[in-house]
């Protein structure tokens, strides 16, 4: 067990989720005291979430809300079953545990689902995030890191995307809630000096991923001899980012104090402890190349069903990560071919294919 952290305590919300699970493992192995929080909602198969928790040493499948459970595998990990929309319980959790850092990965995810169920996104992504901000302010958290998304760039067609680009025209409600998170965090950083860092993730994939994500859906269809739905006739470009690059970037950012941002909205040179970073691979690939790599990894050909572009989708994403590189001297760079193979190996083992 490494001990780089001097026993700093970190709250990871969304800890039964894809990125949250990997983030907990990363911090646990770096010697942090980690508390994971999740409401284990049924947006997708809860058994996948329970299996992630099992790897973290949490073997129960029935929980008492807000009662911490000690990991049977890692002495520096606890799990709490609860929802970030409950402010009184969130504040109590902060008061009892005295967190040094907070990594907020709890959110209602999914672009297309937000078109049909916007109110769920308002509760989790707006109300829940405001609760996190307020608790962080009251308890004087050293650094709040939170998930945003590349979807905030909307239909911007100037590539690669830079953090300075306008993000005022999101094309999905999911992206709108994440844009709201960024401006909410800015207000707390400006008004209260709360150090915040927003991370615009670019199409994260890897083992233990979400079943609603493209790679998971493609693999399931290929293995089951079902047609793979390919939108916009396959003419899509994505900056696919492997999960290990995501969690390493967050780990490096945790103690890194922000490039204090001058207030560009007035003549006063107010220093604001606020920042936004792209986290992407910076090597976008065509969707068909992504699927072809999966075919190779699964050793099986896909049956294609080409369809038109869906509402809320964008044609291309491409991250400019020069700002991130300057800040933490790290560039996400795991090749798509390697990442897809790692995912395929996990998928075949997990589903006994």
Of 65, 130, 67, 78, the residue nearest 104 (C-alpha): 130
Is the torsion defined by CA of 125, 129, 130, 131 positive or negative? Answer: positive
Active-site choice (113, 121, 153, 174): 174
Tell me how far apart the alpha carbons of residues 12 and 142 are, in angstroms, rounded to a whole number. Answer: 14
Per DSSP (E only), the strands in 150-236 are 196-201, 204-205, 227-231
Give the strand order in the sheet containing 77-81: 69-70, 77-81, 33-38, 9-13, 101-104, 143-149, 196-201, 274-279
Rama region for 299: left / alpha / beta (φ>0; ψ in -120 to 50; rest): left
Nearest C-alpha neighbor of 125 from the set 186, 84, 168, 171: 84
Residue appearing with tokens 């976008």: 284
CA distances from 14 to 22, 37, 312 (A): 11, 6, 24
- Is 174 an active-site residue? yes
Q: List the catalytic residues.
A: 174
């Amino acid at each position: 067990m490494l001990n780089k952290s001097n026993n700093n305590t970190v709250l990871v919300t969304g800890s039964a989720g894809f990125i949250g699970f990997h983030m907990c493992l990363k911090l646990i192995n770096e010697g942090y005291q980690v508390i994971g929080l999740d409401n284990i909602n049924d947006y997708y198969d809860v058994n996948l979430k329970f299996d992630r928790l099992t790897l973290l040493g949490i073997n129960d499948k029935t929980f008492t809300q807000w009662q911490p459970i000690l990991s049977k595998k890692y002495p520096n990990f606890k799990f709490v079953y609860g929802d970030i929309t409950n402010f009184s319980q969130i504040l109590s959790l902060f008061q009892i545990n005295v967190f040094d850092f907070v990594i907020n990965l709890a959110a209602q995810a999914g672009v297309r689902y937000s078109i049909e169920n916007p109110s769920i996104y308002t509760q989790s992504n707006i109300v829940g995030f405001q609760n996190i901000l307020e608790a962080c302010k009251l308890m004087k958290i050293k650094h709040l890191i939170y998930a945003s998304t590349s979807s905030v760039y909307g239909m911007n067609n100037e590539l690669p995307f830079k953090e300075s680009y306008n993000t005022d025209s999101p094309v999905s409600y999911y992206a709108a809630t994440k844009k709201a998170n960024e401006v909410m965090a800015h207000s707390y950083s400006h008004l209260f000096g709360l150090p915040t860092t927003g991370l615009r993730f670019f199409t994260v994939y890897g083992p233990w991923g979400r079943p609603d994500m493209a790679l998971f859906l493609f693999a399931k269809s290929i293995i089951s001899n079902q047609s793979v739905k390919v939108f916009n006739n396959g003419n899509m470009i994505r900056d696919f980012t492997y999960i290990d690059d995501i969690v390493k970037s967050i780990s490096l950012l945790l103690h890194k104090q922000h490039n204090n941002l001058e207030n560009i909205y007035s003549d006063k040179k107010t220093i604001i402890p606020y920042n936004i970073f792209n986290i992407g691979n910076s090597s976008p690939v065509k969707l068909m190349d992504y699927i072809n790599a999966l075919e190779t990894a699964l050793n099986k050909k896909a049956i294609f069903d080409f369809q038109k572009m869906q509402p809320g989708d964008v044609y291309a994403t491409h991250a400019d990560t020069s700002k991130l590189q300057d800040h933490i001297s790290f560039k996400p760079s795991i090749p798509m071919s390697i990442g897809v193979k790692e995912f395929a190996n996990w998928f075949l083992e997990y589903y006994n294919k």
